[in-house]
Structure 1
Amino acid sequence: MEFLSFGMVIAASIALAVYARVRCGSGNARDFFVASGQLGGLLVFFLTIGETYSIGSVLGFSTGVYLHGAAFAGWFMGYILLSYPVGFVLAPLLWQLGRRTGSITLADIFRAHFSSRLLEVVVAANAVAFLLPLGQMQFTGLISVMRSLHWHVIPTVDCYNP
């Protein structure tokens, strides 16, 4: 039953992607990265929640408390709760700066604000370097969840050995 549900979600996602591409996609970078500015505030709010409370942070929280005790729980709750007030202040400022300069990525904002191509490359390289381990952590957490559901998963690179 769970494989059927999973397959239906994947099929619906592919159908929605094809429909969106046929109906309103021009194929430029702005469409890909920021949906041409068509995302509403409510959708962006839920996307932000998905980024903050990702599988890595949810699994990492319980593992950290188990390994390091209650002090870790206090630190982690402060860390997670602090992200929203900081984002509440910084996100609108970054959004306005991006709209004013026509920027799409954070690296574009740095290039436009400081007029430095070198700074843009450094920011982009750092973003990639720091997001790759986060992506690996997401896949490792996903494999852990799938194995706990007793799904037979054979990843190409297995960093999780129970």
Structure 2
Amino acid sequence: MKKVFIVLIAGLTIIGSGLFVGNLFFSKEEEKEPSTIATTEELKPELFLDIEILEPNQEESQQETTINELYRGELDFQHADPTKPYLITVQFTDKEKREFLGPDKQPLRLEKEVTLGKEQGIAFLAVKGNKPMLAHIQKLKDVQVSASLKEKE
């Protein structure tokens, strides 16, 4: 009985191994080619403006620098109305103060409405761009960034 059992296990092992090896070498070609999915959606160049309002005695923002960051700066303000809306404008200009145009032929300018919430302090700005916008701005020469804070009319 032991011999029959050993022969049966050895036979099943040989048959299983043969089927496994047969599947590896004689499988359909379609299954061997990896399937890939390609997307061709183009990213539209974009700029983003992050604003953090700091206390006057606070030295630095808690925001960490990121790879896609183009500019970091601060705007000090005093005697502001904490409840009124203000407009923060960031522009990319050259040495003669002419605005640069983006890939879409629109001025490279960001505007964001904020309520400061205090009479005095610091508005911390971080301008970020996606990869196509970073590539566009890197091609420009003598880029300067100007930021302003005005009461919204």
TM range (shorter): under 0.3
Tell me the TM-score normalised to structure 2 length.
0.19
Larger Rg: 2
Q: More helix by proportion, 1 or 2?
A: 1
Q: TM-score, normalised by structure 1?
A: 0.18
Point out the structure with the larger strand share.
2
